[in-house]
Structure 1
């Protein structure tokens, strides 16, 4: 019998700097396809046509301001910052654990220092707009998206390869 997976431990790295005790929370990126409804003559319903991938955003929260995050704020380069999430999930029905790694590259474009109240921990939020996303589970690559380099891989299958070939991009 399978029970829900529980995140037991996680770690966050920003440009190689570890924040194991300072990272409070991550809102991992929502990955969604942008679609458009299509209904042709005689069709009794709509078909969702794939158009692109929706914007990828990562929100991460720390207990106070951190220099490494501010250093890349509003950087000229679209992928100036590398953020790496590593999580260990437990499934108590089988007693097994599962590793999840998510790597994004992007630019920190929003900071929210939250409320400043004496004697309380900080709640410093950062939003990173991402142009690269990679998710691996137990060492196996499940999803990789590189917007600028036109890469879209799902479970090892590059869904844009035939299109790049069609336009002479190898």
Structure 2
């Protein structure tokens, strides 16, 4: 029997600038695919065809305490990959004390920045939603997922999922 790895600590970097002590929470992007049911003659039920990444895109939500002007300055960035964010997390298993270093690298732009409630003597925070064109997930230095929507790249556990399609398209 074992115990699950739990997030013990984390950090967020915005263009290399550490938000240690500022970042309060982060919701890592869902890995989601667009699927369409298909049932043809001779099939006793539908099978979902994989049509690529979900129409919801890659969304990263994060909350920072206080006033974080760097993100506000980045709002309205015209490049779909204009902001570089890097999430790092230390996940520890309480039965073995083993620590897994998780890293998520994202490129995108801020879709929304909720400035939060302003009240003297109360906690303040910004909630930011960053829509991403690039996503890379690694654990202990091993690349698990890399998705680069602008460059038609999708690698899962070292397998290039789009290689044959790029070859067929001549790119």
TM-score normalised by structure 2 residue count? 0.96
Q: For the residues of structure 2 that align with 1:6 and 1:71, how far apart are their CA atoms?
A: 33
Kindly report structure 1 stretches of 4+ aligned residues shifted beyond 6 Å: none
- Counterparts of 2:5 and 2:97, CA distance in 1: 10
What runs of 5+ residues in structure 1 fail to find an aligned partner?
none
CA distance in structure 2 between the partners assigned to 1:65 and 1:48 by the alignment: 46
- Structure 2 match to 1:126: 128
Give the whole-Å Cα distance in 2 for the aligned partners of 1:2 and 1:154.
27
Q: Does 1:2 align with 2:8?
A: no
Between the aligned partners of 1:134 and 1:157, the Cα distance in structure 2 is 14
Q: Secondary structure at the match of 1:148?
A: helix
Alignment of 1:72-87 (within 5 A): 72-87=74-89
Aligned to 1:24: 24
Q: What's the CA shift string for 1:94-115, capped at 9, x where partnerless?
A: 1211000000000012011122
Runs of 5+ unmatched residues, structure 2: none
How far is 1:4 from its partner?
1.5
Superposition deviation, residue 9 in structure 1: 1.2
Equivalent residues, number: 169
In the alignment, which residue of structure 2 is the partner of 1:45? 45
State the match for 1:112 in structure 2: 114
Compute the TM-score of the two structures, normalised by the length of structure 1: 0.96
Q: Could you tell me how far apart the structure 1 residues matched to 2:41 and 2:71 are?
A: 53
Write the deviation string for residues 14-36 of structure 1: whole angstroms up to 9, x where unpaired: 01110010000001101101111
Distance 2:120 2:45 in 1: 58
Shift of 1:6: 1.2
What is the Cα-based RMSD across aligned positions, in Å? 0.9
Q: How many angstroms does 1:139 deviate by?
A: 0.5
2:103 to 101, 104, 109: 101
| Structure 1: distance between partners of 2:148 and 2:32 | 14
